[in-house]
Amino acid sequence: MLSGTVWMIWPGNPALSAVVLFLIALPFLYAARRPMQGLFRSLTRAISNPLRLGARWLASSAVLLRQRNRLVLLAHGREEAMKSIEREFERVTAVVQRDLQGYPALQRKLMDEITRIEEDYQKCGEVPPPPPEWTKAVGAIAKIKPSGDGLVERILADISQSIDEIYDKVVAEYRRSYQDRHKILKGFQPFWRSLQQTLSKVDKNITGLQGSAAKIDAQVEKVQQINANLDKAEHALGASASIQFAISGLVMLIAIGGAFVNYKLISLPMSAMVGGGDYITDNLQASEVAALVIILFETLMGLFLMESLRFTHLFPLSNVNEKMRRSMMWMSLTILLVLAGVEVALAVMRDLIVSADVALKQSLGNAAVVAPVDASWMMKIPTAGQMILGFTLPFALAFVAIPLEYFIQSSRTVFGNGMVFGLRGLSLLLRVVGVIVKQVGNALCMLYDAVIFVPLLIERMVQGANAGRGVASESAAGETVPFPKRLSDNERRATGEQG
C-alpha cells in the first residue's frame, strides 16, 4: 500500500500529484530530448536492421535455392529425356535389325512373286491356234448349191459332217484353253494376298518407325529446350513433377493401406512365434514389431527386385555387372517367395488361433454346451481367402518401389518449390516487422515531442524571434540574394521563360 502511494506528493490526490510531478520533470525531459530520441532510434534500428538484413539474406537464399531447384529440375528432365531417347533408339534398332536383316529375303520373295505373276500373266495372253487353212476351201465347196446329183450330195454331206466334227473339236479346244487361263488367274489370288500381306507388314513397320522417329524428335526438342534453359521447359517439368508427386503419393497411400491389411493379417499369429506377452514399449508388442519387420523386409526385397529388373533406379547399381544383377534378382525373388509362403502359413495360423479363441470363449461362457464346428467346405473359404491374401500382398507390396521412386524424385522439386515459397514469405514477414519496428521508433520520438510540446513551443518561438532579427540584419547588409519573385504571364511571354 505504501509502495503504491510513495510517489504522491499529496497522498490523497494522485491527479494533482501526477501533474506537479510532470511539471517538475518537464524541463528534464526537454533537456534529455535529443539523447532520448537518439536512444529510441538506436533501439528500433537495433531491431529493424537485423530484421532487414535477415529479410535480404532470406530473399537471396530463396533466389539461390530457386536457381538450384531449376538446375536440378532441368538436369533431371534432361536425364529423363535422354533415357526416353535411348529407349526409343533401342526400339528403332530392334525394329531395324528385325526387319532390315530379313529385307533381302523379303525382297527376293517379292521379286519371285512378281516374276511368277508376270509369267502367269503372259500365259493368260496366249490364244489357241486358229482353225486350219483348208477349212476355207471346204467352206467354198459347202457354198455349192445342191443340184440333185447324188454324188455331189454325198460329198457335201461328208464335208458337212467333217466340218461339224472340226467345229466341235475347235470349240472344245477353245473351252479347254479358257479353262486353263481361268485356272492360272485363280492361282493369282494367293500370290496377290501374300504380296498384300508383305506390303502391309512393311507399311506397319515403316509407320512404327515413323512413330518412334516422332517421339525421338519430341524428346530431342525437349532436350534442346532444356539446354537452351527456356522457362517453358522449366514450367513443363515443374508441372510434370507436381502431377507425379500427387499421383505417386496417392498410389503410396493405397500401398500403405495394403500394408496395413497385411500387418493386421500377420500380427496376431506372430504372437505365437515371438511370444504374445512381450512388449517393446508401453503399447507396442514384440509380435507387432515382428509383423512390421516382415512387411518392411518384403518391401525391401521388392525394392531390390525392381531395381535388379531395371524398373527403378533408386540405388547406384550401374557398376554392378549383369551376372551379379541377375543373381540379385533371383535372391530377392526367392526371399520374397519365402516370405509370401510364411505369410500363407501365418494366415492359416491366424485362422486357427481365432477359431480356438472363439471356441474357448464359448466354452467359458457355457461349459456344458460347446457349439460344434462346422467343417463344411464353405467354412474353409475365409481361410483360403486369407491364404491367397497372404501370398499376393507381398508381391503387390513389391511394386510399391515404382511409385516410391517417382515420389522421391518429384518430392525434391515440390519441396524445393515449397521451401522457396516459405523463404520468400519469411523474408516478406521480416521486412514488414522491420518496417513496423522502425515506424514505432519514429512514433515514440513524436510522442516524446508531444509530451514536451510546451518547452518545444517556447524554443520555436525563441528561435523564430532570433531568426527574424538575423534576416533583418542580413537584408540591411545587402549580402543576401532575394528569392526570385514569381513572374506574371505577360512578363513570362516577353522574356521567353518556361514553366
Partner 1 sequence: MMRKILNVVAVLAVCLVISACADKKSHAKSVYMLVDTSGTYTQELGRAQALTGYILGTLNPGDSFAVARVKSRSFSEKDIIAKVTFDKDPLQANAQKRAFRDKVADFTKGVTKGSAYTDITGGIIQAAEFLNETGAGRKTILIFSDMQEELDYQTMRDFPINLKGISIVALNVTKLTTDNIDPRRYLDRMEWWEKRVRAAGAEDWRRVNDLEHPERIFDARR
Q: Is 360 in the site for partner 1 (CB under 8 A)?
A: yes
DSSP-assigned letter for residue 146: P
C-alpha cell at 354: 481365432
Q: Do 38 and 445 contact (CB within 8 A), yes or no?
A: no
Pick one of 82, 156, 272, 451: the residue that binds partner 1 (CB under 8 A): 272
Stretch of residues binding partner 1 (CB under 8 A), selected from 251-259, 360-368, 425-433, 435-443: 360-368
Burial of 81 per CB tally in 10 Å (0-12, 13-18, 19+): buried
Pick one of 153, 158, 173, 278: the residue that binds partner 1 (CB under 8 A): 278
With CB under 8 A as the rule, give the number of residues binding partner 1.
30
Q: Is 277 in the site for partner 1 (CB under 8 A)?
A: yes
Interactions with partner 1, residue window 99-128 (CB under 8 A) = none
C-beta of 88 vs 307, nearer to partner 1: 307
Q: Is 356 in the site for partner 1 (CB under 8 A)?
A: yes
Q: Write the interaction track for partner 1 spanning residues 294-313; mark x where CB under 8 A is met and - where it is not.
A: ----------x---------
Q: Which of 435, 431, 442 is nearest to 41 (CA)?
A: 442
Q: Is 280 in the site for partner 1 (CB under 8 A)?
A: yes
Cα–Cα dist 204/165, whole Å: 59
Stretch of residues binding partner 1 (CB under 8 A), selected from 95-103, 126-134, 279-287, 476-484: 279-287
Q: Is 293 in the site for partner 1 (CB under 8 A)?
A: yes
Q: Cell 530463396, residue?
A: 62
Q: Which of 88, 171, 66 is nearest to 420 (CA)?
A: 66
- Sign for the CA dihedral angle at 181, 186, 190, 196 comes to positive
Pick one of 353, 433, 436, 440: the residue that binds partner 1 (CB under 8 A): 353
Q: Which of 393, 353, 349, 352 is nearest to 261 (CA)?
A: 393
Q: Write the interaction track for partner 1 spanning residues 361-400; mark x where CB under 8 A is met and - where it is not.
A: x-xxx-x---------------------------------
C-alpha cell at 228: 537452351
Cα–Cα dist 459/464, whole Å: 8
C-alpha cell at 451: 509530451
Which parts of 321-452 fold into alpha helices (H)? 322-365, 381-398, 401-451
State the minimum distance, in angstroms, from the CB of residue 258 to partner 1: 22
Pick one of 357, 449, 459, 491: the residue that binds partner 1 (CB under 8 A): 357
Q: Which residues bind partner 1 (CB under 8 A)?
A: 268, 271-272, 275-282, 286, 289, 293, 304, 315, 317, 320, 324, 328, 352-353, 356-357, 360-361, 363-365, 367
